[in-house]
Structure 1
């Protein structure tokens, strides 16, 4: 579908985007580049939804059917450790999740579809900010995304290391877990480290809380219901010879079921307060203090069948895993799937050797899959919006 010269063009877009990563709701340079390209292709471009979001519209024929395709744009607060020429120019910020590649693939599809228009209906190309923990999808929806661009269905795609190049994975139902985070503040009596009996040691209590929270999954939940509870941050003290007054713990939990989510929430509250009280420590708990949490990424059956048909047309049935194990990672594309039927699938990024995993400082998107992903988007549009006979 795409000749070598186009592949090189897509690669140049992707590598440029990799050099200018921007954090959530700060994707101004990225959005400008994307909007300029879409305008160059002849699409109608709208900017500003979700602060930095870009949505482009392309129509052909006389059908009223409408499909939305979504790519994410934001980078991560990670210092890149790669040494290649297209490494990040921005300190402590990099594209460690492939959003540069996602944007480039959708741009490539937009360019092709604008030039060929072998479909009947309307395509909305959504370039979304702030996927990484800040719910940019929800922000765009709250700003009127689907009122201004009333798609019948919505589709998303994410690269996945250790799925081979030229392969896809997709299924109906849950693809990605829900995401919630929590913050625990423990407050005790500070004292000299040589006289712990005169105070209440919040660090010891923090250790007890961490160990106790690990029993939620192993001893409270049905083993048939996948879930994970992880403490990801501990902050306490600032000197060698004093026990601090406060300790701050932050963490996350993931699952695929609303009842399980409620159980985990209630158990965190109960166990933290019980452990803290037994040591005379005060505990305060806040859930999702900086974001709304993400729901389960749940694919609708009919739209998954259409995505599967398009993926098979591009790479062959033998290269599509139709029953992948759902990931405990999460995606704010789930908010879009709560509003519209749709499908989220994974495209193989190749081996993760040399620590090339998602959210790793050595990660880089595989440019060999740019045309594969773009071809999937094009085939999906042509499948959903069948051209006139």
Structure 2
């Protein structure tokens, strides 16, 4: 998940339900009993994080575990992605369960014994936990096979803005392994421990990344009259772009245009000849996306004429709007209530402006993306983020229970 900062749901005040071994558990007991084993696996992944499309070690370990449990494995889908096929005890439908495996280019700043050993790379978004949850779910499903149909476990590379879901889909994921429904989850330090969060319908924003390159004319800093200063153009354009949201969009429409980088120059006494603005768009409809894209190009073209410079606008489609199936959201909420208690299910009313490429899989098959809350208040994508291993049994139990229930429904 990219730039995760979902609206914080109201915190409940009911007692927390522990998931550590030996305590009463509202999760699948066989999974909870294996928490120490899976926590060790998760911490090994954490020590050895891998950036998107480089998850060679991670995917190799995952494949080896799946094969050891008698699961049919297909490697090299979308690069380092892989799929496991778990056949049930009778013919039936197919449900997909997905987890992401990649880490972030962030230097970890924790004092954990199992902190990252790779300079500049860490699992600051908890994808090591997601991978482990799906492994725990796969092991349980494979040892019981007490369901009709089949479960496809999807271990995806490169979720963090690199297009891993699209790469797997382009490589024939759903052609080779068609799914009637598909489900995914994310850990959440933003909600209380044990709370399952679900947003019916549109749940997360789509996203574009953009780079705007200004070609001006450089000069000596003492003689700016000989220049066409790209820095002045960049500052004017940065301000003009913010009028798109305030003056071109309906007041009730949720959208974000953030300039996150401005680069130009390298000396104190030189007016540079180029400048670059980079950033992201967030939106919840194609109409909002098209409006922002069109106005960015129009404003850039107008300022190019006004300042006598050249401006090139490059806008890239990175994430699709994530939309949960409304009916299946109710089903997942019901399953969550059985596992963790109805008082610990949060049906969220606001969509998050963060983005997630599981949205592309939900375009291929209906399904639901949900969150599982855990201890800790350091946000995702923070160098000090710490994943709470105690949430592994809850996440894995949710995945197993959702798959079994949906296959039993026929």
Q: TM-score range by the shorter chain?
A: over 0.9
Residue 365 (structure 1) aligned to one of 381, 387, 391: 387
Residue 247 (structure 2) aligned to one of 210, 213, 219: 219
Does residue 180 of the first structure (1) align with residue 208 of the second (2)? yes
Report matched runs for 1:313-328 at 5 Å.
313-328=338-353
Does residue 94 of the first structure (1) align with residue 119 of the second (2)? no
Partner SS for 1:375: helix
Does residue 379 of the first structure (1) align with residue 401 of the second (2)? yes
Question: How many pairs are equivalent?
Answer: 382
Q: Distance in 1 between matches of 2:331 and 2:57?
A: 34
- Residue of structure 2 in register with 1:305 after alignment: 330
Residue 46 (structure 1) aligned to one of 74, 82, 88: 74
Q: Distance in 2 between matches of 1:56 and 1:206?
A: 49
**TM-score normalised to the size of structure 2?**
0.90
Q: Distance in 1 between matches of 2:373 and 2:296?
A: 36
Report matched runs for 1:106-255 at 5 Å.
106-255=134-283
Does residue 259 of the first structure (1) align with residue 281 of the second (2)? no
Does residue 84 of the first structure (1) align with residue 112 of the second (2)? yes
Unaligned runs of 5+ in 2: 1-27
Does residue 276 of the first structure (1) align with residue 301 of the second (2)? no
State whether residues 162 and 350 of structure 1, in contact with CA within 8 Å, keep that contact through their aligned partners in structure 2.
Answer: no
**1:269 positional shift:** 0.8
Please provide the CA RMSD for this pair: 1.4
Unaligned runs of 5+ in 1: none
State whether residues 170 and 324 of structure 1, in contact with CA within 8 Å, keep that contact through their aligned partners in structure 2.
Answer: no
**1:349 positional shift:** 2.9
Partner SS for 1:63: strand
Change (3 A) 1:251 1:367: same
**1:387 positional shift:** 8.8
State whether residues 118 and 387 of structure 1, in contact with CA within 8 Å, keep that contact through their aligned partners in structure 2.
Answer: no
State whether residues 119 and 387 of structure 1, in contact with CA within 8 Å, keep that contact through their aligned partners in structure 2.
Answer: no
Q: Distance in 2 between matches of 1:57 and 1:324?
A: 35
**1:276 positional shift:** 3.3
Q: Distance in 2 between matches of 1:222 and 1:313?
A: 41
State whether residues 188 and 246 of structure 1, in contact with CA within 8 Å, keep that contact through their aligned partners in structure 2.
Answer: yes
**TM-score normalised to the size of structure 1?**
0.95
**1:116 positional shift:** 2.1
